[in-house]
Amino acid sequence: MASCVPWTVAVLCVFAAFLAVISNCEGQRQRPHQARQDPPADMLLLDRENKTGNASANCIQKDERLQCPDPDIRFYLYVGSSGEADEINTTDPEWFARSKFNPEAPTVMLVHGYRGGESLMPTVVLKNAYIKLGTHNLITVDYGPLVKTPCYIQAVNSLKAASKCIAQMLDYFREQNIASEKFTCIGFSLGSHVCGLIDNFVDTKLDKIIALDPARPLLANRWDSDKLDPKDAKQVQVVHTNAGFYGQTGWTGTIDFCVNNGAQPYCQKTRRVFRPRRPSSDEQLCSHAHAICYMAQSLWRERAQVGEPCANRCPQSNFFDRRGPSVIMGQFTPSYATGTYCVKNDVPAYCLGADPNDPEFGDIRCCPVIHNNTRSRISNFVSDRRAERRKKMWRRFENDN
């Protein structure tokens, strides 16, 4: 019996060594694979590094009874293309005279959503686009402490507080003879509802609200006075890119655009490269956040997407089932346009490098991450199509001669 012990130990040692070799080889094979499949979060228009809170005990909730200005709700002014920020001080009567605000230029207010901030993804993409264009007074609203993670419930309950302080800021500009009805409020996700709720605190309606995929969770069934609705401005334009998940469905504004039936096709591959254990989450977030990219692209009129009349809901089964003139989406949507329009687009909006004639147009963060194998197949497919096109052109040339 004793002679069997060394033999058993030897077998166990050999087996352990075999497992170690297999594990080491497997690890070496998986490490580069993992490196390819863990792209930067901002490629999906996410802010994985935005650690503004990690426990519900850190949540801040404020309601419309707060006194404005409030230290957790701040405003920054950008004029032209310099990119220099000037914090708006509504308690200083002399601030406006010292500022670079251009009364002759149109004014846009940009309001971020959940987990957002003045310079955080994804709204920073649109902020940078406006600065690059350099034709607007851009006011960014930063109420980040009220919408930090994981405080979504508190964030929803704090929307009126943010709207009240924006209204107070508009009163300050009105005292400087800058009419608030000339302001356009652009909100993303929860920020869309902030834009809408401003109407609760002002006497004169805003000229225009552009709501980029208004947030749906905990808001879809609220009264109109507690969320964005078509009466909140002279024109309420809504861009639906993730209808029914993070974004709202149905007719939400005076004019609604349903983009790719409320789900962006180029976002479907993100589940293979980012958090594979949660395949649907990143695909939906990608679609949701790409409303920002569509708006950024629309700042250049010739590049803006165009919608065709369609049914009054998003998503819908009959994509184009109404007749009428098409309407441009985004910055240059006519003020008189109403109804629901469908936009079909297979190419990611405002993706850097999408236009070979202008390699500086766009933002790399608007380019969805595609698995390497998928990217190769797409590249090969495009190359084959181009080669076939050249052959056809050459045959025509030979036939003509």
Same domain for 287 and 349, yes or no, is yes
| Pair (111, 168) in one structural domain | yes
**Whether residues 301 and 400 fall in one domain:** no
Spatial distance between the Cα atoms of 266 and 284, rounded to a whole number of angstroms: 11
Query: Is 9 inside a domain boundary?
Result: no
pLDDT tens track for 168-208: 999 999 999 999 888 999 999 999 999 999 999 999 999 99
- In this structure, the answer to whether residues 166 and 296 fall within a common structural domain is yes
What is the mean predicted confidence (pLDDT) over 363-377? Answer: 67
Sheet holding 74-79, edge to edge: 86-87, 74-79, 137-142, 107-111, 183-188, 206-212, 233-240, 255-259, 339-343, 306-309, 327-328
> Does 27 reside within a domain?
no
pLDDT tens across 300-330, in order?
Answer: 999 999 999 998 789 877 655 567 899 999 9
Within-domain flag for 32 = no
CA distance 352 to 362: 4
- Strand 327-328 vs strand 339-343: parallel, antiparallel, or unpaired? unpaired
Q: What is the pTM of this model?
A: 0.80
User: What is the domain extent for residue 49?
Assistant: 38-370
User: In this structure, is residue 19 part of a structural domain?
Assistant: no
Q: Are β-strands 107-111 and 74-79 bridged in parallel, bridged antiparallel, or unpaired?
A: unpaired
Tens of pLDDT, residue by residue over 245-304, are: 999 998 899 999 999 999 999 998 654 433 434 445 688 999 999 999 999 999 999 999
Decide if 23 is inside a domain: no
Q: Is 79 helix (H, G, I), strand (E, B) or coil?
A: strand
Q: Is 204 domain-assigned? A: yes
> DSSP label at 210?
E
The Cα–Cα gap between 340 and 322 comes to 10
Instruction: Identify whether residues 384 and 315 lie together within a single domain.
Output: no
Amino acid letter at 33? H
